[in-house]
Chains A and B, each alone.
Chain A
Amino acid sequence: MLELKHLAFAAGDTGKNTEIIRDLSLTIPDNRFIVITGPNGGGKSTLAKLIAGIEKSTAGQIIFNGEDISGKSITERAQMGIGFAFQQPVRFKGLTVLDLLRIAARRQLSVGDACEYLSEVGLCAKDYIHREINASLSGGELKRIEIATILARDIQLALFDEPEAGIDLWSFSNLIRIFENMRNDSGGKTIIVISHQERILSIADEIIVLADGTVQKQGPRDEILPEIIGTNIAVNACHKLDGKEAAE
């Protein structure tokens, strides 16, 4: 179980900090598929990074399976079973897809095992297993490899930061299938996906709407989804234009 207690995060130059997460409290039970949505700049990615330890909270606590992990490093949190898929996957000169999957699995994964994970994300393993994770891979390919690294890990909590960003429509259909599989075969894992996509929202157990750095709504999909579909919650940034500029 993941509990966030009065979590806060501020960034910026000294004296002029901007609060990105403010007094955020949240409880996420095990074995759930959670989608966090909300307007751009609302703090979603920051929240995921705070949970993974990539950013350090300025106040509050993060409790994972009963243990306060607020002061733990990225590595320690990863070793406790927290996985994080980047919105923009990182490229590595020289490291191959197989190397990365082996690092993720923390064992000498056989080529056969590695192929299973790649097949799972819709990549033909023999074409990719020895490819370098460099600029020769497209955004969609990188994204799928990123997801495969999460599948290869033995984790309890998986965080996906906008997995649909930068991928084509065909890849997106595959992505939905991957998440559906993960949801149906979660094996006790909790999956938290940051997304704006209705199709991803529609497979969530629970939806959390984050805006202005705090939880605006939280509840079962059937309760929250009808409230946000067709509303302007995802276009909050345009509100600023509704007033002065829009009138001009």
Chain B
Amino acid sequence: MKAMDAVQKRLLEEVADLHDIPEGAYNLRANGESVGRNTTANIDIQSKTDRSGIDIRIRPGTKHESVHIPVVLSESGLKETVYNDFYIGEDCDVLIVAGCGIDNCGSQDSQHDGVHRFFVGKNAKIRYVEKHYGSGAGSGQRILNPVTEVYQEEGSTVEMEMVQIKGVDSTQRTTLAELKEGAKLIVQERLMTHGTQQAYSVYKVDLKGSGSSADVVSRSVARDQSFQKLDMCIIGNAACSGHTECDSIIMDSGRILAVPSLEANHVDAALVHEAAIGKIAGEQLVKLMTLGLTEAEAEAQIINGFLK
């Protein structure tokens, strides 16, 4: 395994909470190449032969194991598209941690487009954590365009935590999901944009099976002159239940366009959407100031809590 430098280690810590090599199965990718991989008796990772990326196969019945597949880019001007496919066997209960950190100190744009597909077996349960982070003072943009596709078999559960808090200049996030009978999808998205950053986040969840359910909740903060578009769509094609929520705070000259949408194609599809955008309530700031915080400290506490 190749050694990672300090910048790469810092990025790794930001996106995967890892200080070093994780336990269990992992694949670490740095500057366009794999720098470390470990497989276990139940989790196999193989490089694709036709294009860049890996196949992760998790044996049926695997429980309480984890897979880490973080990506770090510290070389300015690097652009890559990576295809990772997860095949999760029936009755599994596993944690998958992905994420990408870009440090761009140069003048050329750095870009990582990760396409993740999840094939989730019957009654399997996965928790997927994806963090995106950018740093570096260069004029080159840090660009991340993740695509996540989730195909859930009967009775499966997928919990997704998608976080992008800092430093990504441009992002187009697309998440597509199809759920069969009794499958359940829970998404918690946390997004913050600064400066002139732009973030587009699109969700399209297709509830195909009877008794399937989805709960897609996005909390976001747009600061400075940044812009976000949150486009969340749930389609009910069976007796199912779906809920989307876009809850956003705008600050400075930030702008947010929230477009929640529902499509019910079955009389027993129960679908709900909520969307709220506003600035930090003055009374919240005042309350924390009466506890001794400055206005800036109060604002930071409110934002941190909101995005927690």
Q: Which of A26-34, A72-80, A214-222 contacts B (4 or more CB under 8 A)?
A: A72-80
Interface residues of B in 256-307 (CB under 8 A from A): 281, 283-284, 286-295, 301-302, 304-307
- Size category of the A interface is 20 to 34
The residues in A between 26 and 80 inclusive whose CB is less than 8 angstroms from any CB of B are: 52, 54, 73-75, 78-79
B51 contacts the other chain (CB 8 A)? no
CB contact under 8 A between A90 and B289, given known A95-B302, A99-B305? no
Whether the pair B281, A103 counts as a contact (CB closer than 8 A) is no
- Interface size of B as a range: 20 to 34
B207 CB, min distance to chain A CBs, angstroms: 26
Contact A92 B291, CB 8 Å, known A54-B286, A74-B286: no
CB neighbours (8 Å) of A73 from chain B are 289
Q: Is the CB of A90 within 8 A of B284?
A: yes
Q: Quick one: which of B289, B295, B301 contacts A95, CB cutoff 8 A?
A: B301
The answer to the question of A160 belonging to the interface, with a C-beta cut-off of 8 Å to chain B, is no
Q: A92-B284, A93-B306 are in contact. Are A75 and B294 (CB under 8 A)?
A: yes
Contact B301 A103 (CB under 8 A): yes
CB contacts (< 8 Å) of B294 on chain A: these are 75
Closest residue of B by beta carbon distance from A90: B287
Looking at the assembled complex, report how far the CB atom of B245 sits from the nearest CB atom of chain A, in whole angstroms.
11
Query: Which residues of B are found within 8 Å of A83, using beta-carbon distances?
Result: 290
Q: Is residue B247 within 8 Å, beta carbon to beta carbon, of the partner chain? A: yes
Determine whether the beta carbon of A103 is less than 8 Å from that of B283. no
Whether A153 is near chain B, meaning CB under 8 Å from some CB there, is yes
Minimum C-beta distance from A60 to chain B (A): 21
Q: How far is the CA of A79 from the CA of B291 in the complex (A)?
A: 8
> In the complex, are the beta carbons of B306 and A149 less than 8 A apart?
no
Question: Which one of A86, A93, A96 has the highest number of Cβ atoms from chain B below 10 Å of its Cβ?
Answer: A93
Cα A73 to Cα B285 in complex, Å, equals 13
Q: Given contacts A54-B286, A90-B284, A90-B287, is CB(A78)–CB(B305) below 8 Å? A: no
What residue of chain B has the Cβ atom nearest to residue A78's Cβ? B292
CB contacts (< 8 Å) of A84 on chain B: these are 290
From B281, B284, B292, B301, give the contact of A75 (CB < 8 A). B292
Q: A74-B286, A90-B281, A93-B247 are in contact. Are A79 and B292 (CB under 8 A)?
A: yes
Query: Is B2 part of the contact surface with A, judged by Cβ < 8 Å?
Result: no
| Chain A residues closer than 8 Å to B219, beta-carbon distance | 93-94
Chain A residues closer than 8 Å to B290, beta-carbon distance = 52, 54, 74, 78, 83-84
B residues near A (Cβ < 8 Å) are 219, 247, 281, 283-284, 286-295, 301-302, 304-308
User: Which chain A residues have a beta carbon within 8 Å of chain B's beta carbons?
Assistant: 52, 54, 73-75, 78-79, 83-84, 86, 89-90, 92-96, 99-100, 103-104, 106, 149, 153
